[in-house]
Structure 1
Amino acid sequence: MAHLVVLHVIAGLGRGGAEAVMARLVAASAAQCRHVVVSLSDDGVHGARLRMQGVSVHTLGWRRGRATAGGLFRLYRVVRDVRPDVVQTWMYHADLVGGLAARLAGVRAVSWGIRNSDLHPQRSSRSARMALRLCALLSAWVPRVIVSCSERAARLHAALGYRADRMQTISNGLDLHTWSVRPQARAEQRARWGIGMAAPLLGMVARWDPQKDHANLFEALSQVARALPELVCVLVGPGMDAENANLIRAIRARGLQGRIVLDGPRDDVVDVVAALDVHVLSSAYGEAFPNVVAEAMACGTPCVVTDVGDSGRIVGACGWVVPPCDAQALGEALQEALTVVCGDGGAALRAACRQHVEEHFGLDRMVQAYLQLWARLRTEGDARCAA
Structure 2
Amino acid sequence: MSARTLRVLHVITGLGQGGAESVLFRLATYPDAGVEHVVVSLTDEGIYGERLRAAGVAVHALGMKRGRVSLGGFMALRALIARTRPDAVQTWMYHADLIGGLAARLAGVRAIAWGIRNSGEHLERSSRSARLVLRACALLSGRVPKAIVCAAQKAAQRHADKGYRRDRLVVISNGYDLSRYAPDGESGARARVQWGLTGDVPVIGCVARWDPLKDHANLLRAVAALVRDGRDAGLRCVLIGRDMTAGNPELGAMIDRLGLRERVVLAGPSDDVPAAMNGLDLHVLSSCAEGFPNVVAEAMACGVYCVVTDVGDAAYIVGDAGVVVPPEQAEALARGIETGLREVAARGRERAGAPGRARVLEHFDLARMVQGYIAVWRRISGVQA
Q: TM-score normalized by structure 1?
A: 0.94
Distance in 2 of aligned mates of 1:208 and 1:97: 25
Task: Give the CA deviation at 1:238.
Answer: 1.4
Alignment partners' CA distance in 2, 1:33 and 1:211: 35
Q: How does 1:257-272 map to 2 (within 5 A)?
A: 257-272=261-276
Aligned to 1:292: 295
Give 2:373's match in structure 1, choosing from 345, 370, 374. 370
Find the aligned partners of 2:46 and 2:137 in 1 and give their Cα distance.
25
Question: Could you say which residue in structure 2 is the equivalent of 1:312?
Answer: 315
CA distances 1:209-265 after superposition (whole Å, capped 9, x unpaired): 211111111110012222134111111111112222221111111111211111111
Counterparts of 2:130 and 2:188, CA distance in 1:
39
Alignment check: 8 A CA contact 2:188 2:277 kept: no
Helix, strand or coil: the match of 1:9?
A: strand
Match of 2:59, SS state, is: strand
Q: Does 2:256 align with 1:252?
A: yes
Task: Please say if 1:184 is aligned against 2:157.
Answer: no
Give the direction of change, closer, same or farther, for the CA distance of 1:72–1:188 in structure 2 (3 Å limit): closer
CA separation in 1, counterparts of 2:277 and 2:269? 13
The one-letter amino acid paired with 1:154 is A
Deviation at 1:108, TM superposition (A): 1.3
Q: Tell me whether 117-126 or 200-209 shows the greater mean CA deviation.
A: 117-126
Q: Distance in 2 between matches of 1:229 and 1:332?
A: 13
Contact 1:40 1:60 in 2 (8 A): yes
- 5+ residue gaps, structure 2, are none
- Whether contact under 8 Å (1:220, 1:328) holds in the other structure is yes
1:114-142 Cα offsets, whole Å, 9 max, x none, are 00002534431111111110110111111
What residue number does 2:279 align with?
275
**Is 1:240 the counterpart of 2:244 in the alignment?**
yes
Task: Provide the secondary structure at the position in 2 that maps to 1:65.
Answer: coil
| 180-189 or 9-18: bigger deviation | 180-189
Asked if 2 retains the 8 angstrom alpha-carbon contact of 1:6 and 1:35, the reply is: yes
Does 1:342 find its partner at 2:345?
Answer: yes
Query: 2: distance between equivalents of 1:3 and 1:369?
Result: 16
Structure 2 CA distance for aligned equivalents of residues 121 and 362 of structure 1: 30
* Structure 2 CA distance for partners of 1:187 and 1:14, relative to 1, 3 Å: closer
8 Å contact kept, 2:124–2:131: no
- Measured after TM superposition, the shift of residue 346 of structure 1 is 5.0
The answer to whether the 8 Å contact 2:23/2:174 transfers is yes
Residue 8 (structure 1) aligns with: 10
Q: Does 191-200 or 289-298 show the bigger shift?
A: 191-200
Write the letter of the residue equivalent to 1:73: M
Is 36-45 or 221-230 further displaced after alignment?
Answer: 221-230
Aligned match of 2:37: 35
Is the 8 Å Cα contact of residues 94 and 133 (structure 2) preserved in structure 1?
yes
Preserved contact between residue 304 and residue 349 of structure 2 (Cα < 8 Å) = no
Q: Does 1:352 align with 2:355?
A: yes
RMSD: 1.6
The Cα of 1:184 is off from its aligned counterpart by: 2.4
Matches within 5 A, 1:130-169: 130-169=132-171
* Cα-to-partner distance string for 1:13-72 (whole Å, 9 max, x where unaligned): 111110111111000056411111111111111112222222222222111221111111
- Aligned partner of 1:21 in structure 2 is 23
Write the letter of the residue equivalent to 1:300: G
SS in 1 for 2:347: coil
TM superposition shift of 1:100: 1.3
Give the AA of the match of 1:309.
G
One-letter code aligned to 2:113: S
1:385 aligned residue = none
Counterpart CA distance in 1 for 2:119 and 2:51 is: 29
Contact preservation (8 Å) 1:119, 1:129: no
Q: Which moved more, 1:259-268 or 1:171-180?
A: 259-268
C-alpha separation between the residues in 1 aligned to 2:267 and 2:74? Answer: 39
Distance in 1, matches of 2:18 and 2:123, equals 21
Aligned to 2:208: 206
Corresponding position of 2:80: 78
Greater shift after overlay, 242-251 or 84-93? 242-251
Moved more, 28-37 or 1-10: 28-37
CA 126–74 in structure 1, closer or farther in 2 if over 3 Å, else same:
same
Cα shift at 1:275? 2.0
5+ long unaligned stretches in structure 1: 383-387
The corresponding residue for 2:335 is: 332
Distance 2:190 2:99 in 1: 46
- Fraction of identical pairs, as percent: 53
Q: Name the counterpart of 1:47.
A: 49
> For residue 230 of structure 1, what is the aligned residue in structure 2?
234
C-alpha change, 1:188 and 1:29, in structure 2 (3 Å) is closer
Q: Give the residue type in structure 1 aligned to 2:353.
A: R
Counterpart amino acid of 1:224? Answer: L
Q: Which amino acid aligns with 1:272?
A: A
Alpha-carbon separation, structure 1, partners of 2:67 and 2:232: 44
Q: Provide the secondary structure at the position in 2 that maps to 1:172.
A: coil
In structure 2, what residue type is equivalent to 1:232?
R
- Give yes or no for contact 1:99–1:142 (8 Å, CA) kept in 2: yes
Partner of 1:69: 71
Q: Would the aligned equivalents of 1:29 and 1:367 in 2 still touch at CA under 8 Å?
A: no
